[in-house]
Chains A and B, each alone.
Chain A
Amino acid sequence: MTSTVHSQLDQQETFNITRPLTGDDFLAQLLHEQQSLTAVEEFSQSHSAGTVPAQAKYYAKLMPVKAPQPGEQYAFEVNLDACSGCKACVVACHALNGLDEQETWRDVGLLVGGTTTNPVIQHVTTACHHCLEPACMTACPVDAYEKDETTGIVRHLDDQCFGCQYCTLACPYDVPKYHSGKGIVRKCDMCVDRLSSGEAPACVQSCPHEAIAIRVVEVETVRENAEVDPFLPAAPEPHITYPTTVFKTERNFPRNTLPADYYSINPQHPHWPLIIMLVLTQLSVGTFAVGLILESLLASSLLDSFRPIQATLALVLGLAALGASTLHLGRPQFAYRAIIGLRHSWLSREIVAFGLFAAAAVSYSAVVWWPGGTSERLAILGGVVLMTGMIGLLCSAMIYVFTQREYWNFSRTVSRFLMTGLILGLATTWLALLLTTVVSQNDRVPQLLARVGPALAWSLMAATAFKLLWEAALFLHLFDRRNSPMKRSARLMVGPLASPLLMRFAAGLLGGIVMPGFLLLNSHPAAALPMIDLKQGVIVGMLFAACLLGELMERYLFFAAVSAPRMPGGLRS
């Protein structure tokens, strides 16, 4: 619309206002006037000619006197007594750094508490804390974070980032923000090039009340403070990453001072590619594991028809998992960079471990198709598959353990992943048995079924029952007196996540209890008939699908119901 009008108007000549105008001429003149910008010609500009920004006279005192010496670094200092909650810092950072339409690098939270006679409200402006031990940097598999040795500023290398978003989970302060359009994360760099030319960062120079300053802090002081300093009410504990921001106040906050969003619960991003990747890698490892257990218990010849099918199924689903994982990356074309963080990043380690696992699994699955392969070598190869798979699974768990979220702690996460592996290993083995009976003419297949069927069914029922009960035990936290992270997770599940929760338990019961129960009731061990008829086939199919769905939903809840740490937030509604 605008451009059309404008092009029409451009063709108009200058109007002679002394001659009488027709109505249309007049309208055209007004529209033309509206589109011509003359402020520059009409008003002379006056501005300081020097290279020092005019604003410097206000922020000079908010800047450090000298650069950090060894053992020191730059830090934000927030004077809480001066922060009035206007949030100009958030918007100025946005405007002066050219951030995208929705993008902000600073947040302002709200603390409330006290009593009716002495109420307390305190706004808190926060950005990146440029930590001594930045979790984002340790977590990053591609070394897209750098902590400057002199200034201590934690910078993000936008062109190095491949968008795995692991830093967004690792940072306890919810600082790095993923930008889906660009496929990368971006964050506060303390306006490093402003600082280096003596100019204050955008937030510092825009705070009307001079509440934000840049100071030099001693690294040792930051560490010492983390031992005792509660940082801010209900904020993540500082010993995790050693945040350097100094919040200073002369006020004494009442003990009940809490963030305004303390009781609000919000489902977290579920990360579907990660859900699929985790569940299917665990399925794959579990299936190989079940296969190896069967190898150790049964005569090798009994498994001849079954072995290649089971291994191939495990391999295919495992490779699908690895494929899914690349979908999670904002810029999958740079997936290869993941290896460079091997020394510190659990994500790099996971990728390498599962890469080795995939190689071993491909070899194993290829070898098992050759009849007469020496069983000893096969056993060694199988052992390698299992070992790399278990290492991969452990690395997967450590990715989440590293974030120090209670719901994702070591025992919970490792147990969860192992049990998923077991349940889906058993379920996939059932599927492999079904496929074997369909494709194989080997007359020993019914014998195999009769031999392992009941055990597989009972194992699956037991594993499922145990896992569901274990998961349900979370709801005991609903009775916690404190609004603990675990209670938040439980509240999320029975509240906004009630539907996926119901789906998870329904699918788990169906696939892990009801369907194997049917199989047990319908099995005919005495008869020499092939055990799997059409009806049985449907049951096994449902068993597998429901178990898989159940675990996928379990993993959805794993991500969505986690209580993510964060700085004090504002009122939500």
Chain B
Amino acid sequence: MIHDLLHARTGPLTRELLRTPGEFGLGQVPATSKPDATTRLVCGYCSTGCGLTAHLQSGEAINLSPTTEYPVNLGMACPKGWEALTVLDSPDRAVSPRLKNSRGQFDAVDWNRALSEFTGRFQAIQAAHGPQSVAFLSTGQMVTEEMAFLGALTKFGMGLLHGDGNTRQCMATAVVAYKQAFGFDAPPYTYADFEESDVIVLIGSNLCIAHPIMWERVMRNPHSPEIIVIDPRMTETAMNATQHLPVTPKGDLALLYGVARLLIQNGWIDETYIDEHTSGFEQFRQFVEPFTLSEVTTQTGLTSAQIERFAETIHRGQRVSFWWTMGVNQSHQGVRTAQAIINLALMTGNIGRPGTGANSITGQCNAMGSRLFSNTTNLLGGHEFANPQHREKVADILGIDPNVIPTESSWAYHEILEGVLKGKIRGLWVICTNTAHSWINQNMARDILSRLDFLVVQDMYHTTETARMADLILPAAGWGEKDGTFINSERRVGVVKKVRKAPGQALSDFNIFRLVAHHWGCGAMFDKWTSPAAVFEMLKQCTRGMPCDITGIRDYQHLDREGGIQWPYPDAESIQVPVTNRDELTDPVENSKHNVTAPNDDSHLASERRLFEDGRFFHSDSRAKFLFEESRPLTENPSSQFPFLLLTGRGSASQWHTQTRTQSSAILRKLYPQQPFVELNPQDARQLAIQQDEQVHITSQRGEMTATAFLTHNVQPGQVFIPMHYAATNQLTDAVFDPYSKQPAYKACAVSVSKLGRTSLV
């Protein structure tokens, strides 16, 4: 006792940090949060789709750790995933509906008042300006069932025509590239391909920071692969590459064409594959003729040796996989660049085999769910609004009148915003996205939002930049507070579960949609939409006969048991019917049939599967198309007034998009600079007399911001880089879009950089 007074080896403070076996297959856990049960769910940040094991006490999640057995992440997670529960406890959570009063301040109101405002204001706008004068903007962050509900409710129940998702900002380019080249939006790969390649080509993709768990899979590759990174910046991923090609921004298209020409010229192509499985190669061969080494070196800033070595590495590789992310997608010529990548895979026969593929890594946790089920560009399940048989099929499954289904697609995101400017869109419902931060040329975007007659924002947080502009805020439950499914980058359908109670009056988006349907007066149309599980059943039926057929998935429990299931996963009945062809929609063709076998209770399909193993694509001739086009110059080249090219991108693995969630974790906040910084080459800094850590002013034709100068050789002279997570960044960007995908080109605009002045005495 006396000894303890003098030297206490244990006591209450020591006990605070005691660890104890967690059981349930876990290692030791903090004794204060020892679970009485565990359950696993898919992470709600990026499209990697990691499995997380929630540690439960009395059914409620009190901690989490990555799921060891999940086939995606193999027991690992990035900081965002580890902190996924923390951000649910934020004081910024929306806990009741909030209505903006005449003084511009928000009053908390109850749901009935909120919904009467919602229906009253929107219906009044529709009465005055037509049903299409109200539109919606949604997300790649909600579960599939909620996306489908939103799309069905707005388009079938509320009479809206236009709605788009923030997925337009991340993967629209990949969608169009795949649809045109393969006949369906079908990323062909499985993550095991990262481990099986002997050559991995990453184009505009910083896996280390944007998708750390996919980089985990690269690091597990036992074949000592050549890793080629094509990126203007020396990123973490480039640092770990065996070849880094610091291409001039948007010079990637010319580079890819030039490499195609080299491969052809040297006979390093797979003529058998080209003959049997592709179309348009001859035209492509002629097209790339002018992309000589001297031409390509001029356009890319690379040396002949670098380009030749790249081509030779592809040639020598037995299993070459090509991966691209936002560096390609967010470009004024993104679709053609993505297709130039696809062309390389096709012409070298690097597709449909382990460790190969032309593979788009997308952004959000449910980007793929949105692509198939958001009911915006496509009718539910990858169908087409214009096709009467598709409308019949979907109407039949949903038990609705086919005539309520629009016969045309929605406007794209920027067309909806332009519609506001033109007075055609008067009311907007923004769900689970943050337009006022993330949309390109932000000052203009905010101006557009301010012109709306009625803006409803439905979000977890009432403090997002967009929520602050709203007339009405609807409080939504977040990830972990609701059930449903996500589909990840490798087409894996995974389950999200309710393991936390939503704060206050917040409701899941699903239940908000049920409530809206009820108040709008179209509740009867959604009688079958009683739960996410019930909707999942209908969505399964919608996919029957489509390339994304998931009729073989029995239920959420089945998904949970299997660690997620990749599409396609047709049931026995579907297997008898060939996959619907995309070109001749009324006449499914025999040769589009997949080489998948029907799953049954005893044996199911492999956990990791890739598409096109039989070399058959979804076009009517079952061939993949070579697609190409002359490269277009940058829309805003550096000038004497704005001499730098601004690159944007992800800043750290601890930040997510507009940071509405990640900024709510004290730990994540410690892991990145709180204030904006700009990467500037020391050579440029010397000319501008800018010192390390100095505050600088960055200006474009559209806006301005201040940031801390980070002098680094990571960026080339004449280029600067600013992470996209800081709200001011998009004040600089230029609203330019890919003509096919209508995806914004965030990654190249002209800016100037100047000293702001100094704060010290010397």
Contact = CB atoms under 8 A, between A and B. Distances in A.
A43 B7 contact: no
B19 interface: yes
Contacts of B9: 157, 159-160
A555 interface: no
B505 A194 contact: no
A551 B22 CA distance: 55
A115 interface: yes
A230 interface: no
Given A42-B556, A84-B236, A98-B17, A573 B693 contact: yes
A437 B189 CA distance: 94
Interface residues of A, number: 100
B15 to A, nearest CB: 9
Given A97-B19, A116-B681, A478-B762, A54 B69 contact: yes
Nearest to A2: B503
Given A119-B712, A495-B759, A88 B56 contact: no
A94 B673 contact: no
A494 interface: yes
Nearest to A200: B27
B692 interface: yes
B653 A86 contact: yes
Contacts of B556: 42-43
Contacts of B27: 53, 55-56, 96, 194, 199-200, 205
Contacts of A88: 76-79, 82, 212, 653
Given A2-B501, A46-B561, A34 B507 contact: yes
Contact of B30 (A81, A84, A96, A157): A96
A34 B26 CA distance: 29
Interface in B6-49: 6-14, 16-17, 19, 21-22, 24-33, 37-39, 41
B560 interface: yes
Contacts of A491: 760, 762
Contact of B6 (A53, A81, A87, A337): A337
A324 interface: no
A572 interface: yes
A263 interface: yes
Contacts, number: 306
A323 interface: no
A71 interface: no
Given A58-B74, A86-B78, A121-B714, A37 B670 contact: no
A206 B677 contact: no
B743 to A, nearest CB: 27
A16 to B, nearest CB: 13
A40 B32 CA distance: 20
Contact of B17 (A1, A91, A97, A207): A97
With most chain B CB atoms within 10 A of its CB, the pick from A23, A161, A491 is A23
A224 to B, nearest CB: 31
A84 B708 contact: no
B12 A159 contact: yes
A86 B762 contact: no
Contacts of A199: 27-28
A478 B760 CA distance: 13
Contacts of B235: 121
B503 A26 contact: no
B7 A160 contact: yes
Interface in A90-124: 90-92, 94-99, 101-102, 104, 108, 112-116, 118-123
A95 B482 CA distance: 23
Contacts of A197: 21, 28
A184 B507 contact: no
Contact of B56 (A40, A54, A96, A573): A40
A496 B518 CA distance: 60
B497 A43 contact: yes
B423 to A, nearest CB: 34
A93 B734 CA distance: 41
Interface in A193-244: 193-194, 197, 199-200, 205-210
Given A86-B212, A91-B667, A97-B17, A23 B514 contact: no
B710 interface: yes
Contact of A55 (B37, B75, B500, B654): B75
Interface string A303-337: 00000000000000000000000000000000001
A210 B181 CA distance: 38
B707 to A, nearest CB: 7
B19 A191 contact: yes
Contacts of A533: none
A569 B111 CA distance: 48
A95 B26 CA distance: 13
A38 B557 CA distance: 13
B112 A40 contact: no
A39 interface: yes
Nearest to A209: B219
Contacts of A46: 561
Nearest to B234: A119
Interface in A36-75: 37-40, 42-48, 51, 53-58
A573 B666 CA distance: 17
B239 interface: yes
Given A53-B26, A260-B710, A263-B692, 6 more contacts: A37-B498, A45-B39, A84-B237, A88-B82, A121-B236, A160-B7
22 contacts: A1-B505, A30-B515, A34-B506, A40-B37, A53-B68, A55-B75, A84-B236, A86-B653, A90-B79, A95-B82, A98-B30, A99-B17, A102-B667, A119-B713, A121-B712, A157-B9, A158-B13, A159-B8, A159-B10, A199-B28, A478-B762, A573-B674
